[in-house]
Amino acid sequence: MQDDIFKKPIEKQFEFNEEVAGVFDDMISRSIPGYESILRLTEKALIEYVTEGAITDIGCSTANLLIKLSQNIKNKHIRLIGIDDSESMLKIAAKKAAAYEATIELLHLDAVESPLPTSRAFVANFTLQFIRPIIREQLVQKIFDSLEDGGMFLFAEKLISEDKKLNKFIIDTYHDYKKEQGYSELEIMRKREALENVLVPYTEEENKTLCKKAGFYHAETLFRWGNFALFIALKK
């Protein structure tokens, strides 16, 4: 279904409810520049690095990544686990997994409050930005502690720049991109208002520092388009 949620006035802050879940795949593909590239890079890194154990996707939404992995990963004994606190998202993920005959474990959990499965890799694409900063740090620490030695953490985030003029240029360029995808000025404004204080972005360096503080020995940017980036963090 096409995302036209913000063609009508907003009544509350943004949340991953049934309405959003129904249009999520269209929303994310039209709202995030380079989304398909981020998905492909994430998948490629996981296939390259993970030969056994489990891959856990925190905030798996409609399971786009996990379905791709189930089709292309060589070792079919690798566990593919999706965690999300939105039941609406998981219902759609389950339907898609069944349609693609993908073997995926879908867990309705709050990753902040619940124990995480021991994994060889964790993914959190466009998930941390929706978690309050002080809790975000705790979650990244939990991810590190739940990773096997030699494991990896991949995550994509919306960014801000510390330079005000550059930040304005990046945001304006992003809004131009959204207009090219068919969103109106009004839709862009309404979504920005709905996300205010719900989505809290960090700078590129703050994201890397977050990982290193948790114990990752290396954190690097794999992809960046304006105010969106994919990171990889490695554990010894």
What is the C-alpha radius of gyration for the chain, rounded to an integer number of angstroms? 17
The H or E element containing residue 49 is: helix 35-49
Q: Where are the domains of the chain?
A: 5-234
**Domain 5-234 adopts which CATH fold?**
Rossmann fold (3.40.50)
**Residue 28 burial (CB < 10 Å; 0-12/13-18/19+)?**
middle
The one-digit pLDDT tens for each residue of the chain (236 residues) are 775 666 677 666 766 677 766 777 888 899 999 999 999 999 999 999 999 999 999 999 999 999 999 999 988 899 999 999 999 999 999 999 999 999 999 999 999 999 999 999 999 999 999 999 989 999 999 999 999 999 999 999 999 999 999 999 999 999 999 999 899 888 888 888 888 878 899 999 999 999 999 999 999 999 999 999 999 999 99
Q: Are the C-beta atoms of residues 182 and 30 closer than 8 Å to each other?
A: yes
pTM: 0.92
